[in-house]
Amino acid sequence: MSSLPTPPPPATGTTTKTHVTTSPVISSFPLFSKTFKKSSLKSLNHKITCNATSDNNLDRRNILLGLGGLAGAVNLTSIPSAGAAPLAAPDISKCGTNPLTGFKPDGTTPTGGDCCPPDSSQIIDFQFPKNPTFKVRPAAHLLSPKYIAKFNLAIKRMKELPETDPRNFLQQAHIHCAYCNGAYTQSSSGFPEIEIQIHNSWLFFPFHRWYLYFYERILGSLIDDPTFALPFWNWDTPAGMTIPKYFNDPKSALFDPKRNQDHLKAVVDLGYNGSDSATTDLEKIKNNLAIMYRQMVTNATDPTAFFGGEYRAGSEPIRGGGSVEQSPHTPVHRWVGDPRETNGENLGNFYSAGRDTLFYCHHSNVDRMWSLWKMTGGKHKDLTDDDWLNTSFVFYDENKNLVRVYVKDCLRTTQLGYDYQRVDVPWLNSKPVPRAPRSGIAKKLAGKVKQTTDVSFPVKLNKIVKVLVARPKKSRSKKEKEEKEELLIVQGISYDSEKYVKFDVYVNDEDDDDVSAVADQTEFVGSFAQLPHKHKGKMMSKTNFRAGLTELLEELEADDDDNVLVTVVPRSGCEDITIDDIKIVFA
């Protein structure tokens, strides 16, 4: 077996912008867009697939190092920062001073202490392991019985730890609750009245990467196996679109009784609306693959689109989450959560999600999407804003040390000592197709549908909303399209944060009676989805939704149209949603 290349040197504590030359193989792939030819997609798909061995002792020659290494290398370009301030790791001694931190099973709100991990007066700064054992995260549906037993034993031992031990299973679950359900405030950044929220912004991906990193290290240490790696629930390929059956064994430590009993053997719905549709398994698979293409390709054309809006100290994450966070991440949470519970516990609610072992496999695949996205080249690079790079968190490690980490140190998975098993990526070839050419829709509906300039915003989303949105410019040249993406922005979405809310967005779909949950058609732009969570002193939250239009309008033969018909369809919990504006911009 060939040896792995020596990992790159650890990052320093500076914020100096660095350029690392990427592999010719990776850099040869152009940005996913209308110019990304099908032959290139097939070539990329071929390069990131392989089979697992029988006992999951994967041949390291079968690991595409670029997936989290070369593709994850820091390739920092000069993008000016607004320069407000990076969000600092919370003062955990003040955890729970905000009482709105979650829900009890009866629907009432518990105290902040219910979400708080053990306190520690000492914090150490993260150091890269000098000689890390390289780990390969395997696909959950391909695990051998031997690996499943190892995974089960690690979780079992974590659950058996004393409740006062920060490595304890429930204490680890509290980490997610505290960071996303109001238990922490920005006191360390000088803003003690503003809570910390690691969803709906550019913090989503790095926070969860660090979270899994330490969780994985704890599990490995509990079974004395430094090679142990968290499996990823491979819901983006048909073979992995069901919950692996070993999670459903009541005798296993991996079992959680608070899951949707109708979904234990079902094909996952990556566009889940809160209730099951009448679609067949084949239709679900087609829709799932189309959603993956839409969110990883069409709607993820640049770092802001993929990672989400900026989130600096002294502010709240109001610009919206990235494409993958919206879907499939959020619908999968709710699809697994138990509808028999008051608030969709466990996986269907932020405060309780970490109590289900499936959460960590779900997020392992979400983290894998970060690696996949970056390997395509073009604008698919990490953010370079200093406030993002210098944001910090604290986690407990396998030795019960409270460790401070920075976003800038988690950009390369190989530097952290892990990568992902290569498996099929069929959604690369699953571009949605139009039902029919959709040019001239605006002219056809003139007088029947109002333009946004004639609509009194904010509008309430208690029914389907249809508006004509003016395009700032039409018939753009190839060069213009390569330089700037045409974006649809649904701005100022005010929603009840204690509900699961979801709405879908369509373009040039003129049929009122035919706006279904079909995602494998070009007219479907994307979804806005949010899990229930608490906010300090309020129920209503505000954010934005954005989606790419350049490729869509070409596919619909509507690139020469002055206006676009936008249809917003409420799916779940939308009775109280209002929208401030709908517009098209270039960015």
pLDDT one-digit tens code per residue, 277-306 = 889 999 999 999 999 999 999 999 999 999
- C-alpha to C-alpha distance for 311 and 283, rounded to whole angstroms: 38
Gap between the Cα atoms of 144 and 137, Å rounded: 13
Say what the pLDDT of residue 27 is. Answer: 26
**Residue 254: strand, helix, or coil:** coil
pTM: 0.87
| DSSP run (H or E) holding 585 | strand 578-586
Task: Read off φ and ψ for residue 425, nearest 5 degrees.
Answer: -125, 75
Q: What share of the chain is helix, strand, coil (3-state, %, to 5)?
A: 30, 15, 50
Question: 133 vs 58, 73, 144, 340, CA distance in Å?
Answer: 14, 19, 21, 42
Work out the angle at residue 52's Cα, subtended by the Cα atoms of residues 26 and 287, and round it to the nearest 5 degrees: 70
Q: Mention every residue, 6+ apart, whose C-beta is less than 8 A from residue 518.
A: 287, 524
- Residue position matching structure tokens 């300039």: 453
Residue 160 makes CB contacts below 8 A (sequence gap 6+) with none
Residue with tokens 């990193």: 213
Retrieve residue 95's tokens: 């955890």
Tell me the per-residue pLDDT of 355-383, one tens digit each, with 9 for 90 and over: 999 999 999 999 999 999 998 777 899 99
DSSP state of 393: E
pLDDT at 391 over 80: yes
Report the 10 Å Cβ neighbour count for 108: 8
- Render pLDDT for 191-215 as a digit per residue (tens, 0 to 9): 998 999 999 999 999 999 999 999 9
Q: What is the pLDDT of residues 525-583, one digit of tens each?
A: 999 999 998 766 667 899 999 999 999 999 999 999 999 999 999 999 999 999 999 99
Least confident of 108-117, 176-185, 257-266, 562-571: 108-117
**pLDDT tops 80 at residue 518:** no
DSSP string for residues in 476-540: --HHHHHH--EEEEEEEEEEETTS-EEEEEEES---GGG--S--SBTTEEEEEEE----BTTBSE
Q: What is the pLDDT of residue 112?
A: 45
| Strand, coil or helix: 100 | coil
| pLDDT at residue 63 tops 60 | no
By three-state DSSP, how is residue 368 classified? helix
Active site residues per annotation: 176, 199, 208, 329, 333, 350, 363
CA distance 192 to 91: 10
Residue-level pLDDT at 97: 67
Judged by average pLDDT, the poorest of 69-83, 251-265, 358-372, 375-389 is: 69-83
Extended strands (E) in 359-451: 392-396, 402-406, 418-420
Give the burial class of 4: count Cβ atoms within 10 A of its Cβ; 0-12 exposed, 13-18 middle, 19 or more buried. Answer: middle
Q: For 315-333, write each residue's pLDDT tens digit.
A: 999 889 999 999 999 999 9
Cβ 586 vs Cβ 485: under 8 Å: yes
Q: Per residue, what are the HEC states of 172-191?
A: HHHHHHHHHCCCCEEHHHCE
What order do you get walking across the sheet with 578-586 strand by strand?
459-460, 578-586, 486-496, 540-548
Q: Answer whether 170's CB lies under 8 Å from 80's CB.
A: no
Given a cut of 70, whether residue 3 has pLDDT beyond it is: no
Mean pLDDT of the chain: 84
* Whole-number CA gyration radius for the chain: 23
Closest to 470 measured CA to CA, from 449, 484, 499, 456: 449
Say what the pLDDT of residue 65 is. Answer: 31
**Residue found under tokens 């993820």:** 300
